[in-house]
Structure 1
């Protein structure tokens, strides 16, 4: 189970690091043109904040446990991603973007699995 949780956390970290970095690096208009239509509903500062939260969560899924410094941050980062994906799913639901909601729910489920596993039987602190 530990290997599965590390693998899922690594996959999530990669996905959210890439997505967050893109949101931080590109202007709102370029993000909208690349298919991220939801950015039209938010200010540039909010988009940058969401990007920063994604990057911080990605780092929080891996580094605390890998460096053995405050490993409790791993499940907390996963819970943060669950909350972020709830917000994303609600945003896409409001915009009637059903295919994107499916992706949000899949990422939510993976993050919830990491949180459950790292708070539970495969905790780094237990």
Structure 2
């Protein structure tokens, strides 16, 4: 793994770890100011998304760091690409049309895939 991967994947993992932990531990009322879509989703779905984000962030960092199944890192990044495609769809079908962050995360996850698989 190169330095560029660690920078991009590290920042992506930090973002998803933070967002995932918030979705897992905070109430719907606490999440609403930052995530308007939480009112349209059942709370167990929000919690499950948070858990997926935490696991994905772990998958970006631990496998390449330990050398144990390092192919999980690009798999985690691919999962984040699909997650953001779904997030864009959720935003566009609701009243919240702010997708700039989602598109940025989609691009960052795509770059992470490229960095993880490129030699």
TM-score tier, shorter chain, comes to over 0.9
Q: In the TM superposition, what is the alpha-carbon distance from 1:30 to its structure 2 partner?
A: 2.0
Q: In the TM superposition, what is the alpha-carbon distance from 1:102 to its structure 2 partner?
A: 1.0
> What TM-score do the two structures reach when normalised by structure 2?
0.93
> Per the alignment, in what secondary structure is the counterpart of residue 70 of structure 1?
coil
Query: For 1:103-114, what aligned pairs fall within 5 Å after superposition?
Result: 103-114=101-112
Aligned residues: 119
CA contact (8 A) 2:28 2:43 kept: yes
> What TM-score do the two structures reach when normalised by structure 1?
0.88
Give RMSD over aligned pairs.
1.4
Query: For 1:48-63, what aligned pairs fall within 5 Å after superposition?
Result: 48-63=47-62
Q: Distance in 2 between matches of 1:69 and 1:11?
A: 21
Does 2:6 align with 1:24?
Answer: no
Q: Distance in 2 between matches of 1:69 and 1:103?
A: 32
Deviations 1:41-88 (A, max 9, x none): 100110000000110011100011111111000000000000001111
